[in-house]
């Protein structure tokens, strides 16, 4: 990422255009993290904008030895965690969101049939509901792992945790997600009676 | 049902051998708990990345400009409050003299001359005291004492320079 380092260096010298290039390059991962964390497009947009504003203000303190993406996602994750903690007791419905809003989702090039699309939507809503049930830090770890392919070390660096703590959090979060997935009414699992053959 | 070691394989994303994969698939057919873990894993991996609405960077530029304007406004308000406060304090402390001056210029001029004369006499006395000390002190203070004194003075000057630099330095950006 030579371009990235050049843009960062130019932005550190006060070049607004270079920083805009960084915004263009990283808007999607930052927005996605905020969206998966907060569950609402408006809140995610605001959080993503705030993330870039904070990054701009702290750019002089950025250590070029760290990957820029990790640094940026770290700011976004901490901001979203703080925001979730502030509104912990307020009403929050992550699964009411229409995940496939054309203004905020990438159009599906595969264009599946309506029935399959409907199932996919239901499942995505369920994923949002599942994420919303997790603790803010666990949710950040899961989002970084599954959507950003971050390693446990990168997640640890971003969230200010140890690698073993990240492993433990991911383990716990996956277990909780699996239990909720199994218990969810949107996901009926045929219950086999004892001693019944799988063929029936 | 015993979920070990299948649950750990799924929860910790452990790399599996073909034989372990086959054993896991057999277990998943009978175990709803582990099947749910596997399904969630697959679902999470299949969800696409969300993208912001078009024009995100332009909206950021606008927000940045707004933030800069807000900061400039705050700075201006701060300077105005400081200036107004300083002017008020100055006016409050100078009010008795102004009133006195307006009431009787002759008294004020006499007081001012008296004050200036006092200042001159004090400066002269301080100068004489300084010359006496300059003659007497070198005999009493050892070279180490002079060194300590010079170091302390340098420290104070350095602190003063750093403070001025820190307070006058403009932060970049917003």
Taking 90 as the threshold, does the pLDDT of residue B171 lie above it?
A: no
- The alpha carbon of residue A26 is apart from the nearest alpha carbon of chain B, in Å, by 10
Instruction: Tell me yes or no: is domain A2-98+122-183 CATH 1.10.1740.10.
Output: yes
**Would you tell me how many other CB atoms lie within 10 Å of the CB of residue B22?**
11
What is the mean pLDDT of the segment spanning B6-12? 83
Q: What is the pLDDT of residue A154?
A: 92
Interhelix angle B32-46/A114-132, nearest 10 degrees: 100
Q: What is the pLDDT of residue A108?
A: 52
Contacts with B63 from chain A: Cβ below 8 Å: 49, 53
Q: What is the pLDDT of residue B24?
A: 84
C-beta separation of A60 from A141 below 8 A: no
Which has the closest alpha carbon to A32: A117, A96, A167, A127?
A127
What is the mean pLDDT of the segment spanning B47-63? 92
What is the mean pLDDT of the segment spanning B18-43? 86
Percent of chain B with pLDDT over 70: 95
- The alpha carbon of residue A137 is apart from the nearest alpha carbon of chain B, in Å, by 17
CB contact under 8 A, A124 and B47: yes
Mutate which of B51, B67, B71 to disrupt the A interface (most A C-beta within 10 Å)? B51
Over its length of 200 residues, how does chain A's per-residue pLDDT go in tens digits? Answer: 578 889 999 999 988 899 999 999 999 999 999 999 998 899 999 999 999 999 999 998 998 888 999 999 999 999 999 999 887 755 544 544 444 444 444 445 555 577 777 876 776 677 788 898 899 999 999 999 999 989 999 999 999 999 999 999 999 999 999 888 888 765 555 444 434 333 33
What residue spans define the domains of chain B?
6-46, 102-140, 143-174
- Residue with the bigger pLDDT between B169 and B22: it is B22
CB contact under 8 A, B67 and A147: no
Query: Is pTM, for the whole model, over 0.90?
Result: no
Mean pLDDT for chain B? Answer: 86
Q: DSSP secondary-structure letter at B48? A: P
What residue spans define the domains of chain A?
2-98+122-183
């Amino acid at each position: 990422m030579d371009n990235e380092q050049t843009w960062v260096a130019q932005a550190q010298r006060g070049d607004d255009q270079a920083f805009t290039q960084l915004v263009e390059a990283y808007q999607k991962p930052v927005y996605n993290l905020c969206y998966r964390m907060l569950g609402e497009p408006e809140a995610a947009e605001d959080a993503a904008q705030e993330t870039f504003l904070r990054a701009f203000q702290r750019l002089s303190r950025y250590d070029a030895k760290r990957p820029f993406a990790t640094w940026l996602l770290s700011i976004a994750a901490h901001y979203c965690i703080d925001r979730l903690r502030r509104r912990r007791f307020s009403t929050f419905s992550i699964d009411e969101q229409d995940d496939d809003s054309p203004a905020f989702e990438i159009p599906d090039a595969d264009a599946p049939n309506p029935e399959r699309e409907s199932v996919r939507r239901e499942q995505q809503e369920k994923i949002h509901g599942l994420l919303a049930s997790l603790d803010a830090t666990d949710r950040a770890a899961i989002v970084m792992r599954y959507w950003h392919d971050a390693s446990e070390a990168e997640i640890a660096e971003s969230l200010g945790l140890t690698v073993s703590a990240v492993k433990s959090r991911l383990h716990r979060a996956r277990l909780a997600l699996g239990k909720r997935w199994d218990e969810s009414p949107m996901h009926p699992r045929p219950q086999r009676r004892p001693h019944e053959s799988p063929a029936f | 049902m015993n979920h070990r070691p299948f649950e750990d394989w799924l929860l910790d994303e452990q790399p599996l051998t073909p034989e372990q994969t086959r054993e896991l698939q057999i277990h998943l057919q009978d175990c709803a708990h582990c099947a749910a873990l596997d399904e969630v894993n697959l679902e999470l991996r299949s969800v696409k990345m969300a993208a912001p609405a078009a024009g995100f960077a332009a909206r950021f530029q606008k927000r940045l400009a707004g933030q800069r304007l807000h900061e400039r406004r705050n700075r201006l308000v701060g300077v105005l409050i400081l200036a107004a406060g300083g002017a008020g304090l100055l006016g409050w402390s100078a009010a008795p003299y102004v009133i006195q001056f307006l009431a009787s210029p002759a008294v004020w001029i006499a007081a001012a001359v008296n004050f200036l004369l006092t200042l001159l006499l004090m400066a002269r006395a301080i100068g004489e005291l300084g010359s006496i000390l300059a003659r007497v002190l070198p005999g009493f203070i050892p070279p180490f004492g002079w060194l300590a004194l010079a170091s302390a003075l340098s420290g104070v000057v350095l602190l003063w320079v750093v403070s001025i630099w820190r307070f006058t330095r403009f932060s970049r950006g917003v």
